[in-house]
Amino acid sequence: MVCGSMALCIMRDGSLKLLCKKEVVLVNSIVEQPLPRLSSFFDSVKSELLRTDLVRLVKGLDDSGHWERAVFLFEWLVLSSDSGALKLDHQVIEILVRTLGRESQDSVAAKLLDKIPLQDYMLDVRAYTTILHRWVLPPTLVTYNVILDVFGKMGRSWRKILGVLEEMRSKGLKFDEFTCSTVLSACAREGLLREAKDFVTELKSCGYEPGTVTYNALLQVFGKAGVVYTEALSVLKEMEENNCPADSVTYNELVA
């Protein structure tokens, strides 16, 4: 949303934050409402809320010391997203994760986050680790896979990736193709050839049988590291010996 004019809003630490005047009016209106009436109030201004920068609005409520109202708004937004009226912004989720963690609202967080398909959102690592270690009981394979993907895209996170893998093992979670290909893709981005080979060797020693997606990810590591063609061909041979079908991605990686 583009605002035509701006206004200053006083934060709880005494600092000033520049908000759109419409956002300030909404913040003030929300603050004036008794908590039990907030849901009906949000319904009455639904069209206006859906045209508002919700990230700035939620953050403005929290920063001004009205975190409870920010949580009420977030809960209303979750219900609206369930009905298809809007798509939650990942930044709104991140703000609420930090808020609920700061205020030790664990039961509220567990209730709200249970309604959100977190795998559909690319949250920052801090938000994911907070969710994982405080509110997801028990953590699922999907949760860990998403965290691995975030670490991999961050870069320079190999030690953290190893830590996540060790935690998964300690909880008895079995790696799947997404786990393995995500780890290998992280290796490809960072040029970690030895680490990728060690990872695959360890997988096999534990009885894991790589699938096409995992082999393709390994070939990507080889390609990024400039590995000789004969070594890449050995992967194709191994796939054939294990009755693992090659696909177009396999051959594209071989000729890349």
CATH value at residue 254? 1.25.40.10
The whole-number average pLDDT for the span 9-38 is 75
User: Would 153 be classed as within a structural domain?
Assistant: yes
Say if residue 252 is in the same domain as residue 147.
yes
Contact (CB, 8 A) for 124 and 94 = yes
Handedness of CA 15, 54, 29, 112 (dihedral sign): negative
User: Would 195 be classed as within a structural domain?
Assistant: yes
Say if residue 93 is in the same domain as residue 159.
no
Q: Choose the final residue of a domain: 127, 162, 181.
A: 127
Say if residue 247 is in the same domain as residue 181.
yes
Q: Residue 9 half-sphere exposure, CB side, CA atoms within 13 Å?
A: 26
Can you give the residue range of the structural domain that contains 100? 1-127
Percent of the chain past pLDDT 90, that is, above it, reads 46
pLDDT digits (tens, 9 = 90+) for 86-125: 778 889 998 989 899 899 898 888 888 778 877 677 777 7
User: Would 132 be classed as within a structural domain?
Assistant: no
Enter the pTM of the model. 0.60
CA dihedral 184, 186, 192, 193 (to 10 degrees): 20
Tell me which residue has tokens 């398909």: 117
Higher-scoring residue by pLDDT: 231, 179? 179
Say if residue 254 is in the same domain as residue 182.
yes
Q: How confident is the model at residue 220 (pLDDT cuts 50, 70, 90)?
A: very high
The span from the CA of 211 to the CA of 233, in Å, is 16
Count of domains forming the chain: 2
